[in-house]
């Protein structure tokens, strides 16, 4: 197996240009999102889905109210002090629940350690959708098949970096061997903290989290919930082994009861 590759997304330098979204759609021939005006900040794509494999979130940080405007009755302000921007993507989990529940083998792990959906094998059952602890995978209404980020598997096979990383003008999205990215990310966090940003932290980089570590991890400047990320993600199939053991025990008990009943009749 080749060296595991991944994404490191440094949200501290994301400018919200959405070049990654455009590049992803162009290279992977991902259809449009419906051109829906959501009236929620400047974000016009909403969230990750079958037709949005990279999503740049615009998160408003409340601040002082504009000149001449007082605070609301609850003490909040309608002003905006700043923005938190982050390009979200499939995490390519080490322990991927989507892989566990796929009945057709449409989902598989590549030689680069990433998780890919084979659209021509997917039967649209949708089991992977609720299995994902991040809500990444979705099905297209047109044909019911599931889609998500492939980390540009075809480009990796050709020795190229994914389209989103290639298009990012600030290197907010970095691609490479996962171990190298972890070391680079740790240095970046320490630098930000030394510059007066104690809130800087890594998300998804620890192998001790609920999914065994992510193949796409992030540097955040606020709590994960602020970015719409679960604070303690857990692989949703973690109890499957125990469930199978209980089911096996129950089956053996039933066989024993039937055997005893048969012997008693004789």
In this prediction, residue 222 carries a pLDDT of: 93
What gap in Å lies between CA 63 and CA 147, rounded to an integer? 38
**What does each C-alpha distance from 248 to 24, 252, 258 come to in angstroms?**
45, 6, 15
**Is the Cβ–Cβ distance between 37 and 46 less than 8 Å?**
no
**Is the Cβ–Cβ distance between 221 and 200 less than 8 Å?**
yes
Q: What is the pTM of this model?
A: 0.81
Consult the annotation and say whether 28 binds a ligand: no
Consult the annotation and say whether 17 binds a ligand: yes
Residues of the chain with pLDDT under 50: 64, 66-69, 77, 243-244, 246
In this prediction, residue 98 carries a pLDDT of: 95
**Is the Cβ–Cβ distance between 136 and 48 less than 8 Å?**
yes
CA 54 vs. chain centroid, Å, equals 9
Consult the annotation and say whether 154 binds a ligand: no
Consult the annotation and say whether 128 binds a ligand: yes
Consult the annotation and say whether 158 binds a ligand: no
Consult the annotation and say whether 35 binds a ligand: no
Please count the residues of the chain. 266
In this prediction, residue 45 carries a pLDDT of: 82
Consult the annotation and say whether 46 binds a ligand: no
Consult the annotation and say whether 122 binds a ligand: yes
**Is the Cβ–Cβ distance between 91 and 203 less than 8 Å?**
no
Q: How many CA atoms lie within 13 A of 43 on its CB side?
A: 23
**What does each C-alpha distance from 104 to 38, 125, 240 come to in angstroms?**
36, 9, 18
CA 186 vs. chain centroid, Å, equals 20
Consult the annotation and say whether 235 binds a ligand: no
The four Cα atoms 13, 19, 23, 25 give a dihedral, to 10 degrees, of 110
Consult the annotation and say whether 90 binds a ligand: yes
Consult the annotation and say whether 216 binds a ligand: no
In this prediction, residue 67 carries a pLDDT of: 47
What gap in Å lies between CA 22 and CA 18, rounded to an integer? 7
What gap in Å lies between CA 164 and CA 180, rounded to an integer? 19
The four Cα atoms 28, 29, 30, 35 give a dihedral, to 10 degrees, of 140
* Closest C-alpha among 148, 97, 106 to residue 125: 106
**Is the Cβ–Cβ distance between 221 and 245 less than 8 Å?**
no
* Closest C-alpha among 32, 29, 58 to residue 163: 29
In this prediction, residue 8 carries a pLDDT of: 98
In this prediction, residue 243 carries a pLDDT of: 46
In this prediction, residue 254 carries a pLDDT of: 73
Range list of β-strands (E), 158-261: 173-177, 201-203, 216-220
Give the list of residues 6+ apart from residue 252 with CB closer than 8 angstroms, or none.
none
Place of tokens 């990279």: 54
């Amino acid at each position: 197996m080749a060296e595991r590759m991944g994404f490191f997304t440094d949200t501290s330098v994301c400018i919200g240009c959405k070049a990654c979204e455009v590049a992803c759609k162009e290279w992977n021939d991902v259809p449009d999102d419906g051109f829906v005006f959501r009236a929620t900040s400047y974000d016009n794509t909403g969230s990750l889905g079958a037709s949005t494999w990279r999503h740049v979130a615009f998160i408003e940080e409340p601040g002082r109210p504009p000149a001449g405007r007082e605070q609301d009755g609850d003490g909040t302000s309608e002003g905006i002090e700043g923005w938190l921007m982050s390009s979200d993507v499939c995490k390519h989990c080490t322990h991927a629940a989507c892989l566990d529940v796929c009945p057709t083998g449409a989902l598989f792990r590549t030689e680069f350690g990433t998780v890919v959906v084979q659209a021509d094998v997917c039967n649209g059952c949708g089991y992977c959708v609720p299995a994902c602890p991040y809500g990444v995978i979705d099905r297209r209404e047109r044909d019911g098949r599931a889609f998500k980020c492939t980390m540009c598997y075809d480009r990796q096979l050709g020795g190229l970096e994914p389209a989103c990383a290639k298009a990012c003008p600030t290197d907010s999205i970095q691609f490479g061997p996962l171990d190298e990215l972890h070391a680079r990310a740790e240095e970046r966090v320490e630098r930000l903290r030394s510059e007066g940003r104690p809130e800087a932290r890594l998300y998804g980089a620890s192998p001790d989290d609920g999914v065994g570590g992510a193949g796409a991890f992030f540097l955040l400047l606020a709590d994960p919930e602020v970015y719409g990320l679960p604070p303690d993600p857990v692989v949703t199939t973690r109890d499957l082994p125990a469930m199978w053991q209980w089911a096996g025990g129950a089956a053996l008990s039933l066989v024993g009861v039937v055997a005893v009943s048969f012997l008693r009749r004789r």
